[in-house]
A and B are shown apart, each in its own frame.
Chain A
């Protein structure tokens, strides 16, 4: 088995602040994802990465940067935090050639 760890669990920032969320997986999965989960709106894909140093934009990439420097880690940066993007950010991963996504527990972002 394996696990996905997201840090921090809760993140509080000021409007306009640059904030970074981190994700680690020990499944040795190839592909990793960042989703934003807003209440009542389901999950929306921000970025994904099919291998180390690869980045692919999702539907919601504007206002975010991502970095995949190692196979096991994928970080997401909120470039300028806004109140309307308070949500839970979920990291996920999949092994190569498989479709099942494994999710972490999420980071809840609050913007003051």
Chain B
């Protein structure tokens, strides 16, 4: 049972466009949502995270929009750069963040 779902599976955008990556979850007890970025041959690295008390979190070109009622969130990457080409994982957990459930990832390609 996939508790965290991501779409699309892969996404291609032109340099300078906004990439939108979607995530949804099932368990209403989840309240911490990190997004990880993974380059080939490396482990994932935390990119940005949000807690359910907020509906938006911004860090430079990366913004999370969170809709608690619909149990959905999205990661927006504005002014996409070729260096943003990577796989992005959405995860979810309860308070402590210890037991994080990961989605299946979105592979983003940014074309120059």
Residues on A close to B: CB < 8 A?
A: 4, 31, 35, 40-45, 48, 50, 58, 90, 92, 94, 97-106
Check if A43 sits within 8 Å of B44, measured CB to CB.
Answer: yes
Contacting B99 at CB < 8 Å: which of A40, A45, A102?
A: A45
Q: Closest CB-CB distance, B6 to chain A, in whole Å? A: 8
Check if B43 sits within 8 Å of A105, measured CB to CB.
Answer: yes
A35 to B93, CA, bound (A): 15
Check if A100 sits within 8 Å of B104, measured CB to CB.
Answer: no
Chain B residues with CB under 8 Å of A105's CB are 41-43
Whether A99 touches B41, Cβ cut-off 8 Å, given contacts A42-B89, A94-B97, is no
- Interface positions of B from 6 to 59, Cβ below 8 Å from A: 6, 9, 32, 34, 36, 41-46, 49
Check if B89 sits within 8 Å of A94, measured CB to CB.
Answer: no
Check if B43 sits within 8 Å of A100, measured CB to CB.
Answer: no
Check if B43 sits within 8 Å of A90, measured CB to CB.
Answer: yes
Whether A94 touches B98, Cβ cut-off 8 Å, given contacts A42-B104, A100-B34, A104-B43, is yes
CB-based nearest A residue for B42: A105
Whether A103 touches B98, Cβ cut-off 8 Å, given contacts A40-B104, A42-B89, A42-B103, is no
Check if B89 sits within 8 Å of A100, measured CB to CB.
Answer: no
